[in-house]
Amino acid sequence: MEFSVDDYRVEICKNVPEFANVKPEALLFKRFTTALTNIVHSVIDPETGFGVVFRIFGSIDFGDRNLENEVCVLLGNNNVAPKIIYSTSTWRLEEFVKGDALDTVTFREIPEFQIKSMELLAKFHKIDASEVLENTEETLPWFVPTIQSEISSLDLTNNSELKKRFPTKYELIDELNWLHKTFHDLNSKLYFCHNDYRPANIIKGVDGELAAVDFDTVGYNYRGYDIGRALNAMYLNVTKEGCEWIDEAYPPEDVVQRMLVAYLKEDIGAEPSEESINQLANEVILGNLAACLHLAIWAAIKSCDGEIKWNYSRYSYDRIHQYFEAKSKHFLTILPENFNENMEF
């Protein structure tokens, strides 16, 4: 994504009241992240030290940027995300939260942040988003149409090694239908969800408080999906080459229990019953499965892009393996015959 910050200096000064008397050329830009979906900078007035976040939109596989902007306003007003200062269909200015992304080491080793992340997520799920997103009896949980679209787009012709070991489209559709039915049988309800809730999308402020960011995937989904996604993003380290898994790539039971109880305490405002904990635990088992299936297919599609050097093939294979391992553990199913943990990509 090629662009120059100089193209935006005047517009930023025009739309940030605190920059009204600042010369555009005086603004200091510092790049935070560069990704396919966003390029993010801090923009600082050197005289006062006041700053904002400047986000240039890149390509996204799902979602609508204008809808995302509306959602961001809603979330900022509900104090679960940075407030929006100004937005267009191609870029956005946000409140500057002094801090850094919650790294996976902090997330898995410090219980305080595990608890705070679940409290924040419970607040997120309580938000009434009906003015932005319609929720009717016909509304499907986010993961269903998302994975349907991914299955439709999947073509592993140019990745023969992964294709040998990856489920067919018909098998993937069967797994998706099974997940949807099993969620339904649990009487799971739809909530306003982040759908990519993980350390990289949580800001830890200098005051220790947390805020969610990156909302191009928001939509109605089961709460177990958001929690399951957070859990399966804890026991890994992302490198420039790929993903390194820690232990079994999923938190131990005591960590899961701590996080579920923290979520429910914030949700209901009291100590949760054993029944409510068990209900949520079952939803989270399915949520982790749905997130692994989505990530496996998404990464398989990415693996066919020759310009991307990150090892999406390995990541895809690992995620689909985690899916079938977890399904086998919790639902006593048999692993596919062609699975081989030691496969190299």
CATH code, domain with 30 = 3.30.200.20
For position 156, which CATH number holds? 3.90.1200.10
Chunked in runs of 10, what are the mean pLDDT values of the chain (345 residues)?
Answer: 80 96 95 77 95 88 81 94 94 92 94 98 96 88 97 95 93 98 96 96 92 92 98 95 95 98 98 98 98 98 88 96 96 78 66
Same domain, 276 and 154: yes
> What is the reported pTM?
0.92
Q: Which amino acid is it at 271?
A: E
Q: What is the pLDDT of residue 85?
A: 97
Rounded to 5°, the CA angle 285-193-92 comes to 140
Q: What is the pLDDT of residue 62?
A: 63
Cβ–Cβ under 8 Å, residues 220 and 112: no
Cβ–Cβ under 8 Å, residues 74 and 30: no
Same domain, 61 and 116: no
108 within domain boundaries? yes
Same domain, 107 and 63: no
Same domain, 184 and 324: yes
Distance CA 135, CA 221 (A): 10
273 within domain boundaries? yes
Q: What is the pLDDT of residue 100?
A: 86
Same domain, 225 and 151: yes
Q: Which residue among 69, 96, 123 closes a domain?
A: 96
Q: What is the pLDDT of residue 344?
A: 72
Q: Which residue among 96, 120, 152 closes a domain?
A: 96
59 within domain boundaries? yes
Q: What is the pLDDT of residue 82?
A: 93
Same domain, 226 and 311: yes
Q: What is the pLDDT of residue 99?
A: 86
Same domain, 164 and 202: yes
> 277 burial class (0-12, 13-18, 19+ CB within 10 angstroms)?
middle
Q: Which residue has the tokens 């005591």?
A: 254
4 within domain boundaries? no
264 within domain boundaries? yes
What stretches of 269-311 show up as alpha helix (H) in DSSP? 274-302
Same domain, 74 and 190: no
Same domain, 90 and 109: no
183 within domain boundaries? yes
20 within domain boundaries? no
The DSSP secondary-structure symbol of 251 reads -
Q: Quote the number of domains for the chain.
A: 2
Same domain, 75 and 112: no
287 within domain boundaries? yes
Q: What is the pLDDT of residue 327?
A: 97
Identify the domain containing residue 35 by its residue range.
Answer: 26-96
List the beta bridge partners of residue 95.
52
